[in-house]
């Protein structure tokens, strides 16, 4: 799926009509909807299911040797999903600088410049897991320039929209920047956190094409992958999500109270600079400190150092 890969795929597959997912009504604070004519969206089993379907699509229509670049560090389950999808070319790019407690943008860009054309680059849309540190708008622009220059395929994992800044619009900045640039890309969207339906397994996978021509063929192939994988996702949570997203204000305001509470909490002052929203990163702590916190203070957080605001 280089710039012309999706288009090439469409010529090999049969097109199939389908009703697209409902879009948010227009409002000043609601994120701009994806361009309907350029996007194929399918319901998925939350963000994890969307990632798996998207990677299966990549393996099927590109190659099982397609390189997939992950940030270092990243959500531990990313590696499991990639392996289970049958992709063997897993690589990493530098992301977090422990000395500055922020994004290592220079290292990130340098590593991505070494990626071969057609490589997939997994990007956290916002509230990077586990660090909580996101690139600035200017840094996202630099990432986009490298992605375009190297002919890479961005795959956004958007699990925490609304929980980084407290604004759905602001948290969608990175994704919308890439969409408006007109590149072929994939987006994994979870509604588990921002709609409070974690056990409902509600999510979506969107494949955004550079041009409208291959969209129906892509949608047809995604539906075929889902049919063989789990046939149909549950409908109840999806109907709730659709109802929310078609209201005048959608899910605007979600996370605002949480973010305000976290930033007012004195314990948040010690978080890494640049950490956002509902989680932070204490990456310089060793496993023995994590164990000490567990024994002495009954604070439970991962060995990697990710601390949820609920623990504060």
Active-site positions read 75, 157, 193
Strands (E) across the chain are located at 39-45, 67-72, 89-94, 96-97, 102-103, 120-124, 153-158, 185-190, 202-208, 279-281, 306-308
CA 172, 177, 182, 183 dihedral sign is negative
User: Are 38 and 208 a contacting pair, CB within 8 Å?
Assistant: yes
What 3-state class would DSSP assign to 232? coil
Between strands 185-190 and 202-208, the pairing is: antiparallel
Q: Which residue has the tokens 């496993």?
A: 287
Cis peptide before 130 (omega within 30 of 0): yes
Distance (Å, whole) CA 151 – CA 146: 8
- At 110, list the tokens: 């340098």
Token digits of residue 197? 């339906």
> For residue 146, what are the contacts with CB-CB under 8 A and spacing of at least 6?
109, 112, 113, 152
Helix (H, G, I), strand (E, B) or coil at 65: coil
Q: In 98-225, which ranges are E strands?
A: 102-103, 120-124, 153-158, 185-190, 202-208
């Amino acid at each position: 799926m280089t710039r012309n890969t999706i288009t090439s795929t469409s010529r090999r597959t049969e097109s199939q009509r389908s009703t697209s997912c409902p879009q948010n009504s227009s409002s000043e604070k609601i994120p701009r909807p994806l361009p309907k004519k350029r996007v194929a969206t399918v319901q998925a089993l939350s963000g994890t299911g969307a990632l798996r379907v998207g990677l299966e699509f990549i393996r099927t229509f590109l190659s099982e040797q397609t390189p997939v670049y992950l940030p270092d560090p990243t959500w531990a389950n990313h590696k499991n999903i990639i392996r289970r999808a049958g992709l063997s070319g897993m690589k990493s790019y530098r992301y977090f600088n422990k000395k500055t407690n922020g994004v290592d943008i220079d290292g990130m860009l340098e590593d991505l410049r070494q990626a071969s054309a057609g490589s997939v680059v997994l990007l956290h849309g916002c509230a990077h897991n586990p660090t909580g540190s996101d690139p600035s708008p200017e840094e996202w622009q630099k990432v986009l320039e490298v992605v375009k220059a190297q002919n890479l395929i961005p795959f956004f994992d958007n699990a925490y929209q609304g929980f980084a800044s407290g604004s759905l619009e602001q948290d969608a900045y990175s994704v919308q920047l890439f969409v408006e640039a007109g590149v072929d890309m994939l987006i994994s969207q979870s509604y588990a956190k921002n709609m409070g339906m974690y056990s409902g397994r509600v999510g979506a996978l969107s494949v955004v094409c550079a041009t409208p021509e291959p969209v129906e063929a892509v949608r047809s192939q995604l539906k075929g992958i889902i049919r063989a994988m789990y046939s149909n996702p549950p409908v109840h949570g999806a109907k709730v999500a659709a109802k929310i997203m078609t209201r005048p204000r959608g899910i605007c305001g979600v996370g605002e109270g949480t973010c305000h509470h976290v930033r007012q909490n004195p314990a948040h002052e010690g978080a890494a600079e640049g950490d956002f929203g509902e989680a932070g990163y204490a990456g310089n702590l060793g496993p023995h400190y994590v164990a000490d916190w567990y024994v002495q203070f009954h604070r439970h957080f991962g060995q990697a150092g990710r601390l949820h605001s609920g623990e504060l």
